Amino acid sequence: MHLRSLTTKPPGYALATILTSLGGFLFGHDTGIIGPATVMAEFTKYVGSSSPTIHGLIVSSILIPAAVSSFFAGTLADTLGRPRGIAIGSLIFAIGAALEGASIHIAMFVVGRIIEGIGEGLYLGTLVVYICEIAPPKHRGPLTTGPQLLITLGLVVGFFTCYGTANIPSSLSWRLPFLLLAGYSFAFSAAVYLYLPASPRWLTLHGKADEAAAIWDKLDVPAADREKIINQFELGTIQPASDENPSSSTISFPDPRPTPATQTRKPTMKLPEVLSSDSRPRLLMAVFLMGMQQLSGIDGVLYYAPLLFQQAGLSSIESTFLASGLSAIVIFAVSIPALVWADSWGRRVNTIYGGLGMTATMLLMGGLYAGDAVHADAGPGRWVVIVSIYLFAVLYTVSWGVGIRIFAAEIQPQKTRASATNIAHGSNWLTNFLVALVTPTLLAKTSYGAYFLFGGCTFVTAVACWLFMPETRGKSLDEIDQAFRESQVSGLKERVTGVLRRRVKSRMPTTVDA
């Protein structure tokens, strides 16, 4: 019996999730190589002397195209299907990476990053959408963190690829990481196109119920979970069952065979639908959280880790690259328990406390620099900063890195999920651009400004989540829909009135019986 369990094939939805999550590796690899590659001696010789602003523009040139293309990613995924959208985006990404590695002028390098950004915006947001649509509710949290885990693995591989090529006495030192990235991306695009099944939800919305049923079987999704999903397509009515008693749900639905109405129904993005009274609050919440995720400063740390460690007192290029690689290993290591326990931690509580923890570490580092307590030659200040950089990365990974991307996708109504999620990713790209652009300038002009800026952003986000963010852990998508509707009306009101009542009560004079 035990041997049989060891040889049991993993469910199809798990295998599809693993393949889809490999797209996160590409993003992480690019993030891991761009910072170290652009400070290599051979690259600075290739570019010539450049200001911190030019350095920031080279690094961040991928992000505005990614933001723009992400606004159209939902339409692409809704029209052609999730796997084809992912395959097309990753193919464009591969072409851009190849141009970077083969560039003969810095302008060609920047054009390659722009093309890479277009592809990145098209495919990255769709990864989570696809996994969210095939995952059984009780496994949705861990499965949708798969891309984040692979992002951290890509960071590790990217940093140590540059660590290994840094001493090559030619331009191959910085070209090789980008050429390897292009190869990974071509392989991923081909694998997704050939092997990743279509989303059954997408098939059902296009009136292909028979194909959807076959895909559900291929993905090994239990019948009870399929029944919950039927309600998302308005094919019937489902009273959600509790997680403890999944058989308690009552289901009624009409003939699921395609009708002329369902056959002609095309779920492409329509801006009025995304901005409707039902969808707008969730879109705004996702846009805010995905934007503030970057304003936490995480990509400032990842892109410019060598500069941060150099500022803290590590002088040699090898030591800064090694410290950067170790930070990636730490992030990857904590991503594993974060993935396993994703559904054991509440989305709301994890986001709030994670934000407060990141605020504390950022303000600590900023305060040490502002107080001139960080010295390269001696003193504990520099080691406190170095440890705090690692601690910040850990806090981000186990909280915002895991929860926010899941939350942004799962709170959206089915009809606008792909479009709204990709618009939210557009917000992420835009703020990422700002962080990548201004971080080297802030570090050059003031040693503490960036830390105070990012610390303030994480604090504001934690407060906003305390006021407005509903809990979605362990809920079906239909239950999330209901919880979010209720939270928009009662959440803020209950918290504010509770605070006012406590204040009034504290000011009332006490009475003493005669």
313: left (phi over 0), alpha (psi -120 to 50) or beta: left
Three-state DSSP at 194 gives helix
Q: Reduced to 3 DSSP states, what percent helix, strand and coil does the chain have, rounded to the nearest 5?
A: 75, 0, 20
Whether 111 contacts 463, CB under 8 Å: no
Any idea what the Cα angle at residue 232 is, between residues 478 and 467, rounded to 5°?
Answer: 35
* Residue 4: inside a domain: no
List all residues 6 or more positions away from 490 whose beta carbon is below 8 Å from its beta carbon: none
Query: Is the pLDDT at 338 greater than 80, yes or no?
Result: no
Place of tokens 């291929």: 218
The residue count of the chain comes to 514
* Residue 437: inside a domain: yes
Q: CA–CA separation, 396 vs 458, rounded Å?
A: 10
Q: At what angle do helices 347-370 and 449-468 cross, to 10 degrees?
A: 160
Q: What is the pLDDT of residue 7?
A: 53
Q: CA–CA separation, 74 vs 92, rounded Å?
A: 16
Q: CA–CA separation, 448 vs 364, rounded Å?
A: 10
Number of H helices, E strands in the chain: 25, 2
**Dihedrals φ, ψ of 223, to 5°?**
-60, -40
CA of residue 355 relative to chain centroid, distance: 16
Per DSSP, 372 falls in state T
Q: Which H or E run contains 250? A: strand 250-252
* Residue 141: inside a domain: yes
* Residue 215: inside a domain: no
* Residue 218: inside a domain: no
- Digit-coded pLDDT (tens) for 158-184: 988 998 898 899 999 999 999 999 999
Query: Is the pLDDT at 296 greater than 50, yes or no?
Result: yes
**What is the domain-level CATH number for residue 115?**
1.20.1250.20
Q: What is the pLDDT of residue 253?
A: 31
Query: Is the pLDDT at 494 greater than 70, yes or no?
Result: no
* Residue 110: inside a domain: yes
Report which residue type is found at 453: L
- Digit-coded pLDDT (tens) for 477-492: 667 767 666 655 454 4
Place of tokens 């390098």: 109
Record the pTM.
0.72
Q: Which H or E run contains 237? A: strand 237-239
Whether 27 contacts 120, CB under 8 Å: yes
* Residue 164: inside a domain: yes
Q: What value does the mean pLDDT of the chain take?
A: 79
Domain count, the chain: 1
State the residue range of the domain holding 102: 10-201+269-479
